[in-house]
Amino acid sequence: MPSRRDQIKMSADERAQFLDEEKTLTCATVGIDGRPHLMPLWFVRDGAELRGWTFAKSQKTKNLERDPHATIQVEAGVDYQDLRGVMMECDVVVVREVEAVADHGMELFERYGGTSELPPETRDMVLAQAPKRVGLCFIPTRVVSWDHRKLGGVY
């Protein structure tokens, strides 16, 4: 008999579809005092990697400069039988080159704006923000997923 863990695990295709549907991840970094620092972040999926951007002076950036590891989670559902999610332990690359950071920003605004052609004012805004930001590349080293809907209401 398969374990409950195996029953609710998402396949690679299911994880990709879930990540493409959901809009916000929670990023956990480790603060200087050793405590978790949790913050929401927009993201774009590129294969198994997720990318985002944040302000260069943010606490999450400072934490990642000190320790380039994060745990990220994307979740959905309210009732137990509907809970779904993906948790990834990641190595994180902090991108500082302004053009590459701007590319991260353009991808994010294309995704969240629902368009592949950004209006000039949005492009200008992203280009103005890029020097103040860093790109974040989350490279998973361990992935855990769950989809309680697979249990069909039987626990």
What domains can you pick out in the chain, each with its CATH number? Answer: 4-151 (2.30.110.10)
pLDDT band at 27 (very low <50, low <70, confident <90, very high): very high
Mean pLDDT across 103-114: 92
Mean pLDDT, the chain, integer = 93
Burial category of 45 from C-beta neighbours within 10 Å (exposed 0-12, middle 13-18, buried 19 and up):
middle
The CA distance from 1 to 66, in Å, is 44
Residues 36, 29: contact at Cβ < 8 Å? yes
Q: Please tell me the pTM assigned to this model.
A: 0.92
* pLDDT score recorded for residue 5: 75
